[in-house]
Every structure is written in C-alpha cells, then in structure tokens.
Amino acid sequence: MSIECLQRIGYLCASQSFYENTDVMMLTTNMIRKDLNSQNMYDAGCSMSGLACFVSADLSRDLANDIMILLSSTKPYLRKKAVLLMYKVFLKYPDALKPAFPRLKEKLEDPDPGVQSAAVNVICELARKNPRNYLPLAPIFFKLMTNSTNNWMLIKIIKLVCFLLCQLSLFICFLAFLALLAFHSLWSPVRTSDSVRTIIGYQIESPIDCNHSKVKLWS
C-alpha cells in the first residue's frame, strides 16, 4: 500500500474520530503543516479536506498563514480547496478574516470558475452575519452576474445582491426621511409639532403669523 493511500486513510479516520477537544490534536499541527506545504497537490488537497472536518481554534490560529499561502497557488485545485477551508478557519478563528480578506476578494475574479464559485459561496455565508461590510463588493458581484454562465453561482449572487440592496435601501430611506423631516420643518413651521422643532434644534416663538414669525435658535 502506497504512502498516499495511508495518508488518505489517516485523514479519513481523523475526520471521523477527532473533535475540537481531542487531546492529541495539539500533536498534529506540524504534521498537517508539512502536508499543506507538500509539492504533491493531492497530498495538500487531502490534508485540507480532512482538516475541514476537525479544525479547531488552535489549529486555525497556527495554520491560517499556511492556508492563506495556498490561496495564491498556481493550481486551481488547491486554490478552490483553500478558499473553502478558510471559511471553517474564520468560524473558529475570526481574527484570520482581516488579513485573508484581500486574497479572498481576489478569488472572486479568479480565471478558474470553480475557484470563483467557491469564493462566492464563502462570501455569501460571511455576509449573513454582517452584510454591510460587503457592500463595496456589489460592483464585482454585478460583473459576475452579467458574465457568468454558472447557474448555481448566479442564484447565490442574486440572493446576496438582493440582501445587500435591502440593507442599503433601508439606510437610504432613513436618511431620506430625516432630510424630508428637516425640509418640512424649515418651510412649514406652523404645522410642525413642538417635538419635531425640538429635534431639529429651533422653536417658533409666534406660530400665529408665518410671515412674521421669529425663529429662535437653541444656544
């Protein structure tokens, strides 16, 4: 039996028996790092597939840089697996998101459609928690919608863009409401309630005659 077969069996057993609090997990860091940096892309791919099943916070912290390096690999097979694995790393070790995000953003424009699809999937899942952080990516998603022929990825992008636009629309509507409130209060002081005048910072002393009413600014 070859070493590659034994390695696959080992990672399969680890994925079925290792948990986040398994004691021997701390002994596997250097072994997994060696496999991630292997010249054989299938060895590195096997290690990433297994690691995704039992990654812990400590492993995420120690191996985040090694996985980020694979995001820039010349092999699409490794880039795709690294993108998907980074999502598991973000869940266990959120501090890895900030340094890894620029490279993850680049994968949205990767020449390989499989890597693009993986990046869209990861960002869609991340945007569920805090969508406003991903509003600057809207132009890239629009470009993907107009150029991609991957139906699955188009469905994911449309859902994400709609969600982002809803968040943006709510913010714009809130600003528009405040602008209309201020405009109405300035040009129609008689019909404006005292509470609204207090909010925008002025008070009408004589509301009987609009033409001769005096405006007193709060000091």
Those residues whose C-beta lies under 8 Å from the C-beta of residue 135, and which sit 6 or more positions away, are 164, 167, 168
Q: Residue 205: its pLDDT value, please?
A: 42
Residue with tokens 């863009």: 161
pLDDT tens figures, 164-174 = 767 666 656 65
Distance CA 57, CA 127 (A): 21
Question: If you average pLDDT over every residue of the chain, what do you get?
Answer: 78
Comparing CA positions, the residue from 79, 91, 88 lying closest to residue 44 is: 79
Distance CA 78, CA 121 (A): 16
Please count the other Cβ atoms lying within 10 Å of the Cβ belonging to residue 79.
23
Distance CA 78, CA 100 (A): 16
Q: How confident is the model at residue 182 (pLDDT cuts 50, 70, 90)?
A: low
Q: Residue 96: its pLDDT value, please?
A: 93
Q: How much is the pTM?
A: 0.72
Those residues whose C-beta lies under 8 Å from the C-beta of residue 38, and which sit 6 or more positions away, are 44, 47
pLDDT tens figures, 55-92 = 889 899 999 999 999 999 999 999 999 999 999 999 99
Q: Residue 48: its pLDDT value, please?
A: 93
Distance CA 45, CA 51 (A): 10
Give the 3-state secondary structure of residue 126.
helix
Q: Record the tokens describing residue 16, joined without a space.
A: 């079925």
pLDDT tens figures, 14-47 = 888 887 777 788 888 888 999 999 988 988 999 9
